[in-house]
Homo-oligomer: A and B are copies of this chain.
Amino acid sequence: MDALHDLKLRLREFAAERDWDQFHSPKNLSMALIAEAAELIEHFQWLTEAQSTQLPPDKLDEVKHELADILLYLIRVADKLDIDLIQAAHNKIKLNEQKYPAKRVKGSAKKYTEY
């Protein structure tokens, strides 16, 4: 029913079967997460922005795996800290709407980076 909930349960089982919960402290999981985020970075670091929007199929497949890995560790950290990711995301968007009112920040990169 809830897609993230399904993944959470599947990852719990995955860790339990391997006896890996002992390594899955939030501290360690945050390290694994950023290491996956860096593998995403590696795909883009020598590409132009335009090239990054038009990936060849084999590279796109690799990027899919990196995005998946980031999501999996994100779900694991959230699970370990008993955080509801979807609710947290909606709350954060609300905060961002107040922090960056459309009227004030619309348009220029300058405004974007300064807010």
Contact = CB atoms under 8 A, between A and B. Distances in A.
A21 B68 CA distance: 23
The 9 closest A-B pairs by CB, nearest first: A38-B38, A68-B92, A27-B52, A25-B49, A31-B45, A68-B88, A17-B102, A26-B52, A27-B44
- Say what secondary structure dominates the interface of chain A: helix
B112 A91 contact: no
A75 to B, nearest CB: 8
Integer count of this chain's copies in the complex: 4
Interface in A79-102: 80-81, 83, 85-86, 88-93, 95-97, 100, 102
Interface centre among A2, A74, A105 (most CB of B within 10 A): A74
A63 B81 contact: yes
Contacts of A52: 25-27, 30
A53 B80 contact: yes
B106 A88 contact: no
A51 B47 CA distance: 16
A4 to B, nearest CB: 7
